[in-house]
Amino acid sequence: MAKARTLFFCGSCGFESPRWLGRCPACETWNSFAAAPAAPKGAAARAVSGGTAVPVRLADVQETAIARMSSGIREFDAVLGGGIVPGSLTLVGGPPGAGKSTLVLQLASFVAASGARVVYVCGEESPAQITLRAARVHADREILVIAETNLRAVLDALERETPALLIVDSIQTVWLPESESYAGSVTQIRDTTQVLMEFAKRRGCAAFVVGHVTKEGAIAGPRILEHLVDTVLYFEGDTNGEYRILRAYKNRFGSVDEICVFSMHADGLHEVANPSDVFLSGRGERPSGSCVVASIVGSRPVLVEVQALVGEAAYGTPRRLAANLDPQRLAMIVAILERRVGMNLGTHDIYTSVAGGLRVVEPAADLGIALAIGSAFRDVALPADAAAFGELGLSGELRTVLAEGRREGECRKLGFRTLFTPRSQRDIVHAIDAALRR
């Protein structure tokens, strides 16, 4: 008989190693490795499988239209690609207090109100505690609650009558008796996710699982957790403010990078129909160092405000900080401004940020970032009705970007008439002179 192999997984990032390590080489966490049996290979794997796979011609597969199920939240349906797909497995992650449990409870309420059977599995709260939270968000009382962490017992009970929607809060609290490890370990998270995925596909039940995050901000557990599920939704940005941004990092049934903006109130999360109004809220007569950028988030145009602050370096090495922006692109833009425009930024600290907490990393934001830095450096404010988008080349030229017409349409709809785009400006020097002339 073949000798059983053992692999070791990092509990923080899921890094695999054939031997135990005191410190993870990937995330540098100490004492995070746990043992897990490796998958059998060769003859052992054939003996375990016990079945024969039969290939099927794609032409012989009957094409059936999958009717999506509405969540009752229009913006949330758009993030999913048009609604909840039966048989799908969705992971909802985010930092503590972001609104993960509130979102899935409101989702369960909307689906239950439509007459569908909804089961809420909670390993962190008692039914009485969930009832208190349900009363706060005015959730439907027809939701079936199971306060159980043994996932095998839960699924065995659901085999008799499969719900239309199954919610597990959270995946780190449930466990399988056949897996010889503690709840929340790498092995348990991997095995419970695989069992949930098999149940959802076989029974046509849409399943949502809530996932915690590590102190670095990544979803806790092995990376295979994100690979197994169909959709990964993540709350990003500042969770201390009024607004919450939910982004689709993975979606097998729709486009990625779609966002849904919620406002947090005492009675739960309220969807925001026009995110541009949120990210530009409070923007009146702005001083220097501010530029509105027309960005494409997922499939929609969204206007955001890029802010920059430039000052003399107090110490020897100047600082370059980018909040919700790509720091590498910031370094490239600063180099272009120094070389092509003649701005002496080598002795200045440069701080850039996107107001509202939305993360913007597309190259189309290059021109807006450059204009914000140039405005802050020369202490000249841009026109109040100005907006910009365009990619910067290393020689200082402005390159065209995707969906220019949709970006311009969103700008004009919100009252921005002065547009700095690759079609209206030749290069970064021409754009800086046109935007910052006194």
Please list the pLDDT of the chain residue by residue as tens digits (438 residues): 455 567 787 766 667 788 888 888 877 878 877 776 555 444 444 444 455 778 888 888 776 667 899 999 999 999 999 999 999 999 999 888 889 999 999 999 999 999 999 999 998 889 999 999 999 999 998 999 999 999 999 999 998 888 999 999 989 899 999 887 788 877 788 889 999 999 999 999 999 999 887 666 566 555 678 888 999 999 987 777 788 999 999 999 998 889 999 999 999 999 998 888 888 876 666 689 999 999 999 888 999 999 999 999 887 789 999 999 999 999 999 999 999 999 999 999 999 999 888 899 999 999 999 999 999 999 999 998 999 999 999 999 999 999 999 999 999 999 999 999 999 998 999 999 999 875
Residue 49, pLDDT score = 47
Indicate whether 57 belongs to any domain: no
Q: In whole angstroms, what is the distance from residue 290 CA to residue 353 CA?
A: 10
* b/e map 228-264, b = 16+ CB within 10 Å: bbbbbbbbbbebeeebbbbbbbebebbeebbbbbbeb
Q: Please identify, among 233, 255, 273, the residue that sits at the C-terminal boundary of a domain.
A: 273
Residue identified by tokens 């209206």 is 424
Q: In whole angstroms, what is the distance from residue 361 CA to residue 247 CA?
A: 14
Domain that holds residue 27: 8-40
> In total, how many domains does the chain have?
3
**160 and 191 within one domain:** yes
Cis omega before residue 424 (within 30°)?
no
206's CB contacts (< 8 A; 6+ apart) are 69, 84, 85, 86, 87, 88, 90, 164, 165, 166, 200
CATH of residue 135's domain is 3.40.50.300
Residue 285, pLDDT score = 67
Indicate whether 397 belongs to any domain: yes
Indicate whether 297 belongs to any domain: yes
Indicate whether 50 belongs to any domain: no
Entry field: residues in the chain: 438
DSSP 41-53: -HHHHHHHH-S--
- Single out the residue of 207, 258, 295 nearest to residue 78, CA to CA: 258
**336 and 248 within one domain:** no
**109 and 218 within one domain:** yes
**147 and 201 within one domain:** yes
Residue 314, pLDDT score = 80
**259 and 178 within one domain:** yes
**291 and 267 within one domain:** no
Residue 36, pLDDT score = 65
Pull the structure tokens for residue 121: 């599995």
Residue 110, pLDDT score = 94
End-to-end CA distance of the chain: 83
Q: Please identify, among 214, 247, 273, the residue that sits at the C-terminal boundary of a domain.
A: 273
Q: In whole angstroms, what is the distance from residue 193 CA to residue 232 CA?
A: 13
Indicate whether 62 belongs to any domain: no
Indicate whether 291 belongs to any domain: yes
200's CB contacts (< 8 A; 6+ apart) are 87, 88, 89, 166, 206, 207
Pull the structure tokens for residue 79: 């993030």
3-state helix, strand, coil in the chain (%, to 5): 30, 25, 45
Q: Is 398 helix (H, G, I), strand (E, B) or coil?
A: strand
Indicate whether 126 belongs to any domain: yes
**394 and 314 within one domain:** yes
**235 and 89 within one domain:** yes
**290 and 170 within one domain:** no
Is-contact 303 276, C-beta < 8 A?
A: yes
**265 and 182 within one domain:** yes
Is-contact 252 54, C-beta < 8 A?
A: no
Pull the structure tokens for residue 87: 């048989």
**254 and 316 within one domain:** no
The count of C-alpha atoms lying within 13 angstroms of the C-alpha of 70, restricted to the half-sphere facing its C-beta, is 8
20's CB contacts (< 8 A; 6+ apart) are 8, 33, 35
**330 and 307 within one domain:** yes
Indicate whether 227 belongs to any domain: yes
Q: Please identify, among 273, 305, 326, the residue that sits at the C-terminal boundary of a domain.
A: 273
Residue 236 CA: distances (Å) to CA of 233, 241, 338 = 10, 12, 33
Residue 96, pLDDT score = 85
